[in-house]
Amino acid sequence: MKGNLVTLAGLTNNTTGSVILTGQFSLQGVTTITVPQGMKLKIYRFAASGNAINAQLLFTPNINASSPTWYPLDQITMTAAGDDIHEYRARPIVVYGELGTEAITVQYSQPSVGGTLISVVTELTEQDDKEE
Amino acid sequence: MEIGPNSLLIVELPAYGTFLPFKVIDVTNMPYDELDYSPLPITTSTSLGYFTPTVPPGAPLTAPQTGVLPPMSYTASPVRFPLQNAFDPSDMFYFESPNNKLMVIELFVQPKFIRVMPEIPIGNIVASYENTIFNIGGSIQVNVGDFTGLASTGFKRGYSLVVQLPKVHYGYLFGNDTSLTVYTSGKIRYYDLRVAAPSSSEVLDAFKGKVKEVEFISLPMPTTETVISNVLNTYYGTTGVPFAAVNQSQIANFIKPLADKIGGV
């Protein structure tokens, strides 16, 4: 099954926090994207645009834990206003939903309040092969 | 999937241990076989269940908007596809005549990760083993055909394929086991078939792999259902050819009542 390419994006609104991500199909923004059991989340692009920021793309194996442990997948550091795009066309970052509790989030810190757009291009597909 | 005139359609009924063989005479709606049905018929009165052990705080018990499924929710009762001016406006797939009509219905749901499970008839979940918990090696438990379990199986994501029998309402369950609140939509591809009873040799050849254009579609109801039995007997004069009927003369015996009802070729 081919999945849906969905761009999730959100503007920062503080000096630290988690980005509220919204995208196509999505009625409300969320700070975590879970991966259902038997599916995988492919991440093709992680980008920031706007004010200086340190943004981390993070993964947890168990979003249901009382305080989930987050592991880094990627990081964007901009010391001044501008753009930074990390693209993975041939080999996307893949998060497998083995238990249905896996999730990603984007956390950030920045010297001034808000003003940076964070976007993550994702595809949620079934785990028909695990060789990627 | 493509179904064309002169092909065979083998409808398998595992609950009965039988199959119904049909020869496709015509596909009456070609090439106008696609219908965008958006949003999915989930309304603000559709009650929701949740894949989580308890209902999340603040989560709505009915769909917040038409076609919308909140995070980790599923339709707690099956939905039908209403369509104005259909034979039954509450269920566009429902039909009663003619006897030799069959519908094959493919449903493509967006987003593609939405869980889809048909119920045949409505209220009777489709699965090989309904609500059975297998205890594999005493260590792993898998809920088979239990739609409501987070780790259950027996559903497809974004897709379903059924053969619509006459005079039976089917139902559909939809589930969203992601953290997103999603808008749903669907595309329906349907084959409005006129069928006849095939010859026993054709049926035998289909099982031997000698027939090129044949579709085997199972209706995996876990148990026999009175509604279905009545329809099979009324419309086809039989509940099907037993899987055990492997030789031509036996198959011919079972096909005869079918041919009497819908005609043979």
Q: State chain B's mean pLDDT as an integer.
A: 87
What's the complex ipTM?
0.85
Q: Which of B71, B151, B157 sits opposite A1 (nearest CB)?
A: B157
* Chain B residue with the nearest C-alpha to that of A32: B179
Predicted local confidence at residue B67, as pLDDT: 95
**Domain span at A89:** 4-126
Is B108 in CB contact (< 8 Å) with chain A? no
Residue pair B147/B50 in contact by the 8 Å Cβ criterion: no
- Cβ–Cβ of B113/A3 closer than 8 Å? yes
State the smallest CA–CA distance between residue A33 and chain B in angstroms.
6
Report yes or no on A66 lying in a domain: yes
- Cβ–Cβ of B111/A124 closer than 8 Å? yes
Residue B147 phi, psi (nearest 5)? -65, -30
State what percent of residues in chain B have pLDDT above 90: 66
* Chain A residue with the nearest C-alpha to that of B151: A37
User: Residues of B with CB below 8 A from A97's CB?
Assistant: none
Is B42 in CB contact (< 8 Å) with chain A? no
Question: Does the pLDDT of residue B139 top 60, yes or no?
Answer: no
Residue range A60-109, pLDDT digits in tens: 999 989 999 999 999 999 999 999 999 998 899 999 998 889 999 999 99
Predicted local confidence at residue B148, as pLDDT: 67
Report yes or no on A131 lying in a domain: no
Residue range B212-248, pLDDT digits in tens: 899 999 887 877 899 999 999 999 999 999 988 778 8
- Cβ–Cβ of B181/A27 closer than 8 Å? yes
Residue range B67-106, pLDDT digits in tens: 999 998 999 889 999 999 999 999 999 999 999 999 999 9
Question: Does the pLDDT of residue B58 top 50, yes or no?
Answer: yes
Residue B184 phi, psi (nearest 5)? -115, 155
Give the DSSP H/E element, type plus range, for residue A30. none
What is the CATH number for A53? 2.60.120
- Judged on CB neighbours under 10 Å (0-12, 13-18, 19+), A40 is buried
Predicted local confidence at residue B155, as pLDDT: 80
DSSP secondary structure of B72-101: TEEESS-B----TTSSSTT-TT-----TTE
Tell me the pairing of strands A53-60 and A71-78. antiparallel
Is B159 in CB contact (< 8 Å) with chain A? yes
Tell me the pLDDT band of B146, cut-offs 50, 70 and 90: low
Distance, in Å, from the CA atom of B93 to the CA atom of B18, rounded to the nearest integer, reads: 24
User: Taking the CB of residue B33, how many other CB atoms lie within 10 A of it?
Assistant: 15
Q: Please write down the HEC assignment for all residues of B182-245.
A: EECEEEEEEEEEEEEECCHHHHHHHHCCCCCCEEEEECCCCCCCHHHHHHHHHHHCCCCEECCC
Q: Which of A1, A23, A33 sits opposite B158 (nearest CB)?
A: A1
Smallest CA-to-CA distance from B117 within B164, B75, B167, B88 is with: B75
How many domains are contained in chain A?
1
| Residue spans per domain, chain B | 8-262
Predicted local confidence at residue B137, as pLDDT: 45
Report yes or no on A122 lying in a domain: yes
Predicted local confidence at residue A61, as pLDDT: 96
Tell me the pLDDT band of B138, cut-offs 50, 70 and 90: very low
Kindly state the average pLDDT of the residues A44-59. 98
Q: What is the dihedral of CA A56, A59, A60, A64, to 10 degrees?
A: 80
Q: Which of B64, B112, B159 sits opposite A4 (nearest CB)?
A: B112
Question: Tokens 């003619």 sit at which residue?
Answer: B98
Kindly state the average pLDDT of the residues B145-156. 64
Is B180 in CB contact (< 8 Å) with chain A? yes
State the smallest CA–CA distance between residue B11 and chain A in angstroms.
24
* Chain B residue with the nearest C-alpha to that of A35: B178
Predicted local confidence at residue B149, as pLDDT: 63
Is B101 in CB contact (< 8 Å) with chain A? no
- Cβ–Cβ of B112/A36 closer than 8 Å? no
| Residues of chain A contacting B, Cβ within 8 Å | 1-4, 6, 23, 25-28, 30, 32-37, 39, 63, 99-100, 103, 124-126
- Cβ–Cβ of A124/B158 closer than 8 Å? no
Report yes or no on A45 lying in a domain: yes
State the smallest CA–CA distance between residue A77 and chain B in angstroms.
27
State the smallest CA–CA distance between residue A42 and chain B in angstroms.
13
